Structure formats: structure tokens, C-alpha cells
């Protein structure tokens, strides 16, 4: 009985964290759309992870979070941090820059499917039929939503390659978080924030130095309110809170079920874009959103029914 209650608690916490993570990711669209038009993507990434690492360090110093890396395998944490944020955000950033919103959306919509395959091959955790069905329905909803938004194509081989790398790296990140025995969600998130700061901070400084704009990079958040709002949300909302919830979700409910929630961010980005930015909201997008929600529910319906019975 006690074991069932613990399992139910893990399921509830994991699902809530997965939903919360995707809501934060979906809302980030509002904060970054204008910022990336006004400043370099590397500037945004550099500041994002620097502030995320600073916030995590402050929380650690004041005892809000705890982290103890002694006696733990650094290899796993390094692999997690390399796959996400380093490789994933490099692939996503340059992939989106060199392709259309349609193409990047289609590629990134494949993450749940690739995550299922990676989990089955590396972790030997084969998804259930209902999980496969639910994720397939979610993928169909995302594709319908994305395809209804645009008909243009870039045919950029470089862009496709970067997006492919992003998809593979995110799936591997999920797998290695699932294997990160002994690490807490806060410890994994702190490691990811440090890696992002080290890599993207250096890349941003290198780009600024190349264009003789180091002072501009340093002062950017203090003279551009839109950029400051975007970087604060990305740092605290996404690189701290969302990363933490993602890591907790994977540790509680596994890669397969966590991946089934990814489509939620698409729904949130569409609704927030329509309500806050005044963007179009077509019947196809409404249908796609409903299909995504149906897919997420299907992938988790067995656990939902079990929770009701218990």
C-alpha cells in the first residue's frame, strides 16, 4: 500500500513538473521573439545562462537549494550538460536562424519520437502501446499546427543539419538524466547552468570581440528593456525553473512519459501569441491544439485511471 502511494506521488509530481516545464517553454516565445530581432542570439544565450548560474549560486549560498557533488560520477553530469544545453541550443539556435518557422517546428516536433527510440535502445525501456499511440497523436497535432502556419521552405542543408543535431541531443539529454542516479534535480540544473555559462558566455564574448562590441554586450540588458525582460525570463523561468522541472519529471516518470508532454509548449505558444501578441489563430491551429491535448491525455491515460481507482 505504501509503495503504491509513493508511486502515485511520483507520478503526480512528475506529470505536474512536465506540464509546468512545457508551459514555461511555451511562454518563452513571447519574451524572445522581439529580443532575437534586436540582438544576437549568442548575446541572448550568453546572458541567459550567466544569469541562470548566478541565480542558482545565490540560492545555493542562502540554502534555498542544496547541492553536493562529492563522490558522484562527473561523467554523467558532463554528458547531460554537453547534450543540453550546449549541443541542443547550438543546434536549435543556428537551425532556426537558417530555416523557416515551419521547418524548425517540424524538426523539433520529432523530439518525443526520437526520445522514445533512444530510451528503448539505450535504457532498454520499451514504450507501451498506449504511449506510442499518445505520442503519435501529439506529433500529428504539432505537425498540423505548424504546417497550417506557413507554406515556405528554405531548403537549407546547414539548417536541417543543425536541427537534426538539436533533436538527437535533446533525446540523449533525456536518456542520461534518466541514468543520473544519485543526482538531485537541483544538482543537474546547476551543472547545466554552469556549462551554458561557460560555453555560450565565451561564444558571446568572442562574437562581441570580433565586432568590437564587448561594451555593447555587457551593457545590453541595462539599455534595452525588451532584451532584459527576455533574458530574465529565459534565465529564471526556463534555465532554472523549467530545467529543474524537466529533470525532476524525467527522474520521476521516465523519458517516455515526460516526452509525451512536449506538445503542450506548442499549444501554449500558439495561445499566448494570439492573446498577447495578436497573432493569427486559425481553425487548423485550434484543431491541432485539441489533437495535441488528446495525445498527451492518451499517453498518460493508464496512470490517470490508476490514480482515480486508488
Per residue in 229-269, pLDDT (tens digit) is 889 999 999 999 999 999 999 999 988 889 889 888 878 87
Q: Tell me, what's the pLDDT at 271?
A: 81
For 73: left if phi > 0, alpha if psi spans -120 to 50, otherwise beta; the answer is: beta
Grouping H, G, I as helix, E, B as strand and the rest as coil, residue 250 is helix
Nearest-10 crossing angle of helices 283-309, 2-38: 160
Q: Tell me, what's the pLDDT at 57?
A: 96
- Whole-number average pLDDT of the chain: 86
**Other CB atoms closer than 10 Å to residue 297's CB: what's the count?**
14
Percent of the chain with pLDDT over 70: 89
Grid cell listed for 51: 544569469
Whether the predicted pLDDT of 152 surpasses 60: no
pTM of the predicted structure, to 2 decimals: 0.85
Whether the predicted pLDDT of 300 surpasses 60: yes
Residues 6+ apart with CB under 8 A from 91: 162, 163, 164, 165, 166, 167, 169
Whether the predicted pLDDT of 189 surpasses 90: yes
Q: Tell me, what's the pLDDT at 200?
A: 97
Cell 499511440 -> residue: 133
Average pLDDT over residues 47-70: 94
Top pLDDT among 43 and 105 is at 43
- Could you read off the pLDDT of 82-137 as tens digits, one per residue? 999 999 999 988 887 787 666 677 787 788 888 989 998 999 988 888 888 888 88
Q: Tell me, what's the pLDDT at 270?
A: 77
Average pLDDT over residues 184-210: 96
CA 136 vs CA 127, 131, 214, 259, 290: distances in Å: 12, 8, 46, 11, 14
pLDDT band, very low/low/confident/very high, at 39 (cuts 50, 70, 90): confident
Q: Tell me, what's the pLDDT at 84?
A: 95
Residues 6+ apart with CB under 8 A from 26: 264, 265, 266, 267, 268, 269, 272
Top pLDDT among 31 and 179 is at 179
Grid cell listed for 74: 562527473
Whether the predicted pLDDT of 307 surpasses 50: no
Q: Tell me, what's the pLDDT at 279?
A: 66
Q: Tell me, what's the pLDDT at 107?
A: 81
Top pLDDT among 245 and 296 is at 245
Top pLDDT among 280 and 67 is at 67
Specify burial of residue 73 (Cβ count, 10 A radius: 0-12, 13-18, 19+): middle
Which of these, 247, 131, 154, lies nearest to 193 by C-alpha position?
A: 247
220 vs 39: CA distance, rounded Å: 9
290 vs 269: CA distance, rounded Å: 14
Of 30-44, 69-83, 122-136, the range with the lowest mean pLDDT is 30-44
Q: Tell me, what's the pLDDT at 101?
A: 63
Q: Tell me, what's the pLDDT at 149?
A: 64
Amino acid at each position: 500500500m505504501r509503495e503504491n502511494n509513493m508511486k502515485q506521488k511520483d507520478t503526480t509530481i512528475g506529470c505536474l513538473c512536465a506540464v509546468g516545464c512545457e508551459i514555461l517553454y511555451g511562454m518563452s516565445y513571447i519574451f524572445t521573439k522581439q529580443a532575437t530581432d534586436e540582438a544576437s542570439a549568442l548575446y541572448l544565450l550568453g546572458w541567459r545562462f550567466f544569469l541562470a548560474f548566478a541565480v542558482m549560486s545565490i540560492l545555493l549560498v542562502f540554502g534555498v537549494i542544496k547541492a553536493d557533488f562529492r563522490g558522484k560520477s562527473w561523467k554523467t553530469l558532463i554528458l547531460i550538460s554537453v547534450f543540453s544545453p550546449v549541443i541542443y541550443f547550438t543546434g536549435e539556435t543556428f537551425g532556426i536562424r537558417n530555416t523557416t518557422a515551419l521547418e524548425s517546428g517540424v524538426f523539433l516536433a520529432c523530439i518525443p519520437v526520437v526520445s522514445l527510440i533512444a530510451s528503448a535502445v539505450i535504457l532498454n525501456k520499451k514504450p507501451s502501446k498506449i504511449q506510442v499511440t499518445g505520442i503519435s497523436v501529439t506529433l500529428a497535432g504539432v505537425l498540423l499546427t505548424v504546417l497550417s502556419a506557413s507554406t515556405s521552405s528554405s531548403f537549407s542543408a546547414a539548417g536541417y543539419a543543425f536541427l537534426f543535431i538539436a533533436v538527437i541531443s535533446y533525446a540523449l539529454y533525456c536518456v542520461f538524466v534518466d541514468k543520473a542516479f544519485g543526482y538531485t534535480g537541483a544538482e543537474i540544473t546547476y551543472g547545466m547552468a554552469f556549462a551554458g555559462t561557460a560555453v555560450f558566455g565565451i561564444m558571446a564574448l568572442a562574437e562581441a570581440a570580433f565586432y568590437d562590441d564587448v561594451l555593447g554586450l555587457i551593457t545590453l540588458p541595462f539599455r534595452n528593456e525588451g532584451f532584459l525582460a527576455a533574458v530574465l525570463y529565459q534565465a529564471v523561468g526556463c534555465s532554472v525553473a523549467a530545467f529543474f522541472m524537466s529533470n525532476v519529471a524525467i527522474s520521476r516518470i521516465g523519458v517516455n512519459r515526460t516526452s509525451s508532454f512536449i506538445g503542450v509548449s506548442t499549444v501554449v505558444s500558439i495561445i499566448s501569441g494570439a492573446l498577447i501578441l495578436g497573432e493569427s489563430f486559425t481553425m487548423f491551429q485550434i484543431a491541432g491544439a485539441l489533437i495535441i491535448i488528446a495525445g498527451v491525455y492518451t499517453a498518460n491515460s493508464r496512470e490517470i485511471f490508476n490514480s482515480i481507482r486508488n
